[in-house]
Structure 1
């Protein structure tokens, strides 16, 4: 057995921990750029609460609130320009996975010049980033626990990850109380994304004993909590379970990477701006039907963690889970059409080569086209 392990995350987990944002931020800077979305943190009152906590601790708060799902390079540049203009020395990401990814990329671009995609594709060597505090309000991407920031280039639709230890948050505050206001469709989408992270990390060709521990525990916790939370039949502690499972999944893919479902989903969401978790819901059963035979022991263990028997019933269990959270959906229902297939398949092999290489089955161009056709 040989493997390496390096994941320098700093987590503060627990209900009510968001109340420590001001005190913790004061240890890192004096002028904070709060990166958030257009609506949810304002409607819930969280944005006002956080700006108040920062000011009580002597910090100046600057708000950048233009980040949308599938964040764009243009939004990253705009946020970084605002941070420079206002003299920000700290970035606070407040929101879902897209917000956290954008926050990390903004903190990075304050310290690095030029085209973000040059760093993403390795044409330039990444440098430093501003200090960051990451505060997730959804339990899906696990961005608070890894060194990834998924960004879309609007010039060509490429959706790809910036990867650098410089964008690991100095502190991630995971407060399950911040999750409870999520609308059910968002809960379903992000919850399934979290499950996919753990499943994909577990079957990845570069998985390690450490990532296996993270991934299998994440799968178990999601099985116990997601459907009860969605259906209103949850027990005490279920929000903690789902929030922790999300972070575990983020840490697992931070080391083991993702596989074909994420690799094949990124092109349609980059092209058609679909919701990531809904794209995964359309693609994952199709991909796993073609994958189980290549790694039966791995897929059997996933099935057991989800309450099944072995690899033969896994796809059916995933489909039932999707039905239970009203997430049975096709790519066609999300605006993807047959004319998109050639571009998406070619983009997959160009942008998501690592994820495709990590998968138990080595899909070629025509295989990926067939997957898209079946998922339409």
Structure 2
């Protein structure tokens, strides 16, 4: 048995931990670029709460509230320009995964020259970025626990992640109570994403003992909490569970990567600006149905965690979960047409080649196109 594991993430996890935002910020710098979306952190009061803490700890700030649901490379560039112009020495990202990814991209580009797409595709490399303090408000992407920042190039519609240890947050404050303001439809989508991160990492050809342990625990935690919360449970223990499942999912994909499910969804949300978790749900039954033969023992373990009995009923469990979460749209409901399938297939192998290669069954372009067709 041989493996290497390295993930320098500092997690501050627990109910009420949002009260230490100011303290942790002051340890990172004196002037923050606050990166968030346009409304949710304002409506919840978290933005004002964070600003007050910064002021109480002598930290000045500039607000950049332009993070969109599928972050654009152009938005990251604008944020980096703002950070440089305003002399910001660290990033405070508050919000969902898109806000965290935008902030991590800004942290990187603020201290590196050139087009961020060159770094995303490995044409250029750098190991430096501004420090990031991440405060997630959705339990989905796990961006607080890894060195990934997913963004879309609006010129090419390529949706791909910048991967760099320098953008692993210097500190991530994961407060499950911050998740409780999410509407049910958002909760369903991000929670399903968290589950799929853990499933993808467990199935990955580059998985290893530590990621497999964490991924299986992430699946268990999500399976025990997500539907209950979606159906209206107020149990704080369930919020703890789903928040931890999300963070574990982010951590395991940092090391083991994602596989074909995420690899095939990214072109969909890149092309159609679809909600990522809903795109995953449209694809998941068909991707997994064609994959069980590649790792039956792993699908058996996953099925049991979801309430099934073995690998043969794993897709039944996934379909049941998708139905209970109200995630039953097909890709066609997201704007995908038959005429888009060639582009999606080609883009999948362009932006997601490593993910496709890590999958238990390495699909041909023809097989990928057929899965897209079934998912319509």
TM-score (normalised: structure 2): 0.99
Cα distance in structure 2, aligned partners of 1:106 and 1:200: 27
Alignment-derived partner of residue 322 in structure 1:
322
Task: For 1:1-376, list aligned pairs within 5 A.
Answer: 1-376=1-376
What CA deviation, in whole Å up to 9, does each residue of 1:288-337 have, x standing for no partner?
01011111000000001111100011101011111111111100011111
Q: How large is the Cα RMSD of the aligned pairs?
A: 0.7
Q: Which runs of 5+ in 1 are unaligned?
A: none
Q: Which runs of 5+ in 2 are unaligned?
A: none
Cα distance in structure 2, aligned partners of 1:325 and 1:159: 26
What CA deviation, in whole Å up to 9, does each residue of 1:9-64 have, x standing for no partner?
11000000011010111111000000000110011111111011001100112110
Q: CA deviation at 1:235?
A: 3.0
Cα distance in structure 1, aligned partners of 2:277 and 2:103: 20
Three-state SS of the structure 1 residue aligned to 2:119 is helix
Q: Which stretch shows the higher mean deviation, 151-160 or 123-132? A: 123-132
Cα distance in structure 2, aligned partners of 1:4 and 1:59: 38
Cα distance in structure 1, aligned partners of 2:27 and 2:191: 33
Q: CA deviation at 1:234?
A: 4.8
The answer as to whether partners of 1:219 and 1:245 remain within 8 angstroms in 2 is yes
Q: CA deviation at 1:339?
A: 1.0
| Matched residues, number | 376
Three-state SS of the structure 1 residue aligned to 2:242 is helix
TM-score (normalised: structure 1): 0.99
Three-state SS of the structure 1 residue aligned to 2:181 is coil
Cα distance in structure 1, aligned partners of 2:344 and 2:234: 39
Three-state SS of the structure 2 residue aligned to 1:123 is coil
Cα distance in structure 2, aligned partners of 1:124 and 1:140: 29
The answer as to whether partners of 2:127 and 2:165 remain within 8 angstroms in 1 is no
Three-state SS of the structure 2 residue aligned to 1:61 is strand
Q: CA deviation at 1:85?
A: 1.1
Three-state SS of the structure 1 residue aligned to 2:336 is coil
Cα distance in structure 1, aligned partners of 2:243 and 2:106: 25
What CA deviation, in whole Å up to 9, does each residue of 1:206-264 have, x standing for no partner?
00000001100000001110000000135340000000000001101110000000000
What CA deviation, in whole Å up to 9, does each residue of 1:122-150 have, x standing for no partner?
11112310011000000000010011000
